[in-house]
């Protein structure tokens, strides 16, 4: 027996071990690959059974070319084995009948209103129901489709949904609401024009009852979706309170500003017809209500001044240089008094139209007059206070004073306004012109109108807090210019024997 060297034995043993390791590794790899393959197969099977669904293109092809499964009805019409188009023709009469049967009864107390499909603007989406029916048992995964198809053994019905047009339905309900619902009435304040001083007649507000059209529309839509085309609805009206309280109204009817002028300082101001016009204008102005955002015109409110309209002739400025009798003469004192009261209401009163006289008035400071005339200058303003304004005007022939009160939302606590003017420049009085009159005797003359000085005047408004001037509260409102007036005197140049006019 030949003896094998020790080293050779070791080498042979090592080679055998290496071979066995490679074999074990190969077997392990084969087992892993098999496991992966089995797992993948199971996953694919699960996906195909529980996850995978037909593509949109495949579903569209089914709708176009497929037939309905047996056991499917649409609105009670058997469409099994029909194509899409055949089913639509078969279903339309049933849908039309369903629409004709729609009847919604609105019952309130002893009143009944019946609304038909046309009152609701009913539309029917037949295509939606047919598509849903055609894809039944086809648009799910395999498991879902199998369950759906099994359910067909007992039959499955699809309803064509009837849907009202919200706008049409809402209009029909609005007509009913007008007969049932009542709007709340806000409390109000009415100026008492017959009282001797500013006062109001207050009226409490009243609640109303609103008709919830949206709730009824939703109720009908839900019922129609459940196949209930005939319904009786008894609407419950909702109590609706006024938007404000009487206390709110009273808090916005307080004195905001007032102003007084006098008309007893001269015989011209106390002229009988002039006083009658002041009284008439004050009575017409008393009780005026100007809503928030509204513009007020003195001329429009008072109306044209004519003798036939009850305005007697009284002195008034004409042609910018002389006094003449004119219907309504003197009411500029009313517009001027109103204007000064408005200026003291603060900047929330926007003066939109105002003109001064040809020369300053004796009853108010320079620059604070406001002339008016039928078809001519006007006093107008806009109310931006956020609440109504109320005007009270009174003329007292015992004291020869007239006062205008402005009521509305109050000024800030402790706030008032001082309005005044300053003469910036006095324009010299021109020498009067003369015109010769050959039909008057020589030496006789007559002044037609006299020359007057002119003035440039600036008007200011100072904000006061508890009677003290507020820093940075001084406004320059505007500057007026009264032109100097050149008078006119007629001088006779005729024979001394001519009679005097």
Is 13 part of a structural domain of the chain? yes
Is 260 part of a structural domain of the chain? yes
Say whether both 233 and 290 belong to one domain: no
206 Cβ contact partners less than 8 Å away, ≥ 6 residues apart: 184, 185, 242
Q: Which of 411, 428, 447 is the last residue of a domain?
A: 411
What is the Cα–Cα distance from 259 to 253, expressed in whole angstroms?
Answer: 18
List average pLDDT for each run of 10 residues in the chain, which is 501 residues long. 53 63 63 55 45 80 91 93 93 92 90 92 92 91 89 91 91 89 94 96 94 87 86 88 95 97 86 94 98 98 96 84 86 97 97 94 95 95 97 94 97 97 96 92 90 95 96 96 93 89 86
Sign of CA dihedral 183, 189, 193, 194: positive
Say whether both 283 and 359 belong to one domain: yes
Q: Please give the residue range of the domain that contains residue 35.
A: 6-52
Q: What share of the chain is helix, strand, coil (3-state, %, to 5)?
A: 35, 30, 35
Number of H helices, E strands in the chain: 12, 27
Q: Which of 411, 441, 470 is the last residue of a domain?
A: 411
Say whether both 305 and 419 belong to one domain: no
Say whether both 93 and 68 belong to one domain: yes
Is 197 part of a structural domain of the chain? no
What's the pLDDT score for residue 45?
42
Is 310 part of a structural domain of the chain? yes
Say whether both 124 and 273 belong to one domain: no
Structural domains in the chain (count):
4
Is 195 part of a structural domain of the chain? no
Q: Are 317 and 372 in contact (CB under 8 A)?
A: no
Say whether both 95 and 215 belong to one domain: yes
Strand 103-108 to 123-124 pairing:
unpaired
Q: Which residues make beta-bridge pairs with 396?
A: 401
Say whether both 234 and 100 belong to one domain: yes
What is the Cα–Cα distance from 259 to 251, expressed in whole angstroms?
Answer: 22
Say whether both 354 and 480 belong to one domain: no
Chain centroid, CA 229 distance in Å: 39
Q: Which residues make beta-bridge pairs with 206?
A: 185
Is 198 part of a structural domain of the chain? no
Is 211 part of a structural domain of the chain? yes
Say whether both 18 and 119 belong to one domain: no
Look up the CATH number of the domain holding residue 469.
2.20.230
Phi/psi for 120 (5° steps) reads -95, -10
Q: Which of 411, 430, 462 is the last residue of a domain?
A: 411
Say whether both 340 and 364 belong to one domain: yes
Is 199 part of a structural domain of the chain? no
What is the Cα–Cα distance from 377 to 388, expressed in whole angstroms?
Answer: 25
Say whether both 356 and 433 belong to one domain: no
Say whether both 93 and 220 belong to one domain: yes
What's the pLDDT score for residue 16?
64
């Amino acid at each position: 027996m030949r003896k094998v060297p020790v080293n050779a034995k070791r080498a042979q043993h090592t080679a055998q071990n290496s071979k066995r390791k490679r074999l074990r590794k190969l077997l392990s790899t084969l087992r892993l690959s098999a496991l992966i393959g089995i797992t993948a197969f199971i996953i694919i099977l699960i996906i195909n059974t529980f996850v995978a669904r037909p593509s949109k293109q495949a579903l569209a092809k089914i709708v176009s070319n497929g037939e309905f499964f047996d056991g499917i009805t649409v609105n009670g019409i058997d469409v099994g084995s029909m194509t899409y188009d055949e089913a639509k023709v078969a279903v339309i009469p049933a849908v039309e009948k369903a629409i004709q049967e729609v009847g919604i009864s609105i019952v309130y107390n002893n009143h009944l209103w019946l609304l038909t499909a046309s009152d609701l603007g009913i539309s029917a989406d037949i295509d939606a129901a047919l598509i849903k029916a055609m894809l039944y048992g086809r648009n799910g995964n395999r498991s879902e489709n199998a369950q759906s198809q099994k359910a067909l053994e007992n039959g499955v019905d699809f309803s064509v949904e009837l849907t009202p047009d919200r706008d049409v339905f809402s209009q029909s309900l609005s007509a009913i609401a007008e007969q049932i619902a009542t709007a709340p009435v806000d409390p109000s304040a009415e100026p008492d024009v017959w009282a001797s001083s500013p006062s109001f007649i207050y009226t409490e507000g009243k609640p109303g009852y609103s008709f919830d059209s949206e709730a009824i529309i939703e109720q009908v839509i839900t019922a129609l979706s459940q196949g209930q085309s005939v319904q009786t609805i008894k609407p419950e009206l909702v109590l609706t309170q006024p938007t404000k309280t009487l206390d709110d109204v009273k808090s916005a009817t307080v004195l905001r500003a007032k102003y007084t002028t006098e008309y007893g300082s001269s015989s011209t101001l106390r002229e009988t017809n002039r006083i009658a016009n002041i009284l008439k204008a004050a009575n017409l102005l008393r009780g005026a209500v100007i809503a928030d955002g509204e513009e007020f015109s003195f001329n429009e409110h008072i109306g044209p001044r004519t003798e036939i309209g009850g305005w007697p002739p009284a002195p008034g400025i004409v042609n910018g240089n002389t006094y003449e009798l004119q219907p309504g003469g003197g009411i500029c004192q009313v517009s001027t008094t109103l204007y000064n009261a408005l200026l003291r209401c603060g900047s929330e009163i926007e003066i939109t139209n105002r003109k001064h006289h040809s020369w300053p008035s004796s009853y108010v400071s320079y620059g604070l007059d406001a002339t008016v005339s039928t078809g001519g200058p006007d006093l107008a303003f806009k109310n931006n206070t956020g609440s109504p304004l109320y005007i009270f005007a009174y003329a007292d022939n015992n004291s020869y004073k007239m006062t205008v009160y402005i009521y509305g939302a109050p000024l800030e606590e402790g706030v008032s306004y001082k309005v005044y003017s300053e003469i910036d420049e006095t324009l010299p009085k021109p020498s009067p012109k003369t015109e010769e009159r050959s039909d008057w005797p020589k030496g006789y003359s007559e002044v037609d109108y006299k020359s007057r000085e002119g003035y440039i005047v600036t008007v200011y408004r100072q904000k006061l807090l508890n009677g003290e001037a507020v820093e940075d509260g001084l406004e320059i409102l505007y500057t007026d210019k009264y032109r100097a007036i050149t008078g006119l005197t007629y001088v006779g140049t005729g024979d001394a024997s001519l009679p005097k006019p």
